[in-house]
Amino acid sequence: MQTNFATVAALVAGGVLLGNRLRHRNEPMYLDDYDYEYDGDRHGLSAGTALAALVVLGAGTLYLSKYLRESSGSPAMRSVEESIEIDVPVRTAYDQWTQFEQFPQFMATVEQVNQVDDTHLHWRANVAGKMKEWDAEITEQIPDKRIAWRSTSGPHNAGVVTFHKVGENRTRVMLQMDYAPETVGEKVGDAIGGVKLTTKGNLKRFKELLEQRGTETGAWRGTVPQQ
């Protein structure tokens, strides 16, 4: 089940509106109590509008409650896909991605990545306000084409990043990740699209860093056969 930020925004707006109304229940209610002006006149907020806000608040609460109930028990795998185009050659984008220990430079929640050997990594990241660590292995690696991985301990996750030439000096990077939200905080974050937003931001920062440099900081050109 998925939701979006429009739903969350409506839920928050409804909560603020009703909360303020309860605090000032004996005062007349006007839209410009919420920094709203229309032709310089004050307009009273109708009972219908207040009722609509209540419906939105109730529906949003029920939606989130249902999501949390359905995602209780064993963590269910979920997926996110994002892509971005970068003004560098495919080889440059691929080579930079192989520098796993530099991921904290553009991945917002990642604190540290240690490369144990050519195919094994140890991750440390802040996940929904909680520090977590896990081991991962590279399950496939084809230079300038794709890198796939999966966790071998800790939080369940897996994914693949692929590189596509769209111009002489332009590359599309496509990232797909599978993950399993465990805690209530992680499930709420997943419900409101937090993972998708974080992934999009990570790719944007990767693009900015690489385009500013214009070249990779290192490379590993080895091949890992598909596991």
Written as one letter, the residue type at 180 is A
Mean pLDDT across 193-208 = 96
- pLDDT of the residue at 176: 98
Mean pLDDT across 170-187 = 94
- pLDDT of the residue at 189: 86
- pLDDT of the residue at 188: 86
Residue from 115, 111, 151 nearest 129 by CA: 111
The H or E element spanning position 210 is helix 194-213
Residue 127, burial from CB neighbour count under 10 angstroms (0-12, 13-18, 19+): buried
57-61, 176-180, 223-227: lowest mean pLDDT where?
57-61
Q: What domains are there in the chain, each with its CATH number? A: 5-70 (no CATH), 78-213 (3.30.530.20)
Question: What is the model's pTM?
Answer: 0.70
Higher pLDDT, 176 or 45: 176
Q: Dump pLDDT digits (tens) for 44-82.
A: 556 666 566 565 555 555 555 555 555 555 568 899 999
15-24, 109-118, 191-200, 217-226: lowest mean pLDDT where?
15-24
Q: Please provide the DSSP assignment of 54-90 as one string.
A: HHHHHHHHHHHHHHHHHT-SSPPPEEEEEEEEESS-H
Q: Are 142 and 134 in contact (CB under 8 A)?
A: no
Proportion of the chain above pLDDT 90, given as a percent: 59
Q: Dump pLDDT digits (tens) for 109-124.
A: 999 999 999 999 999 9
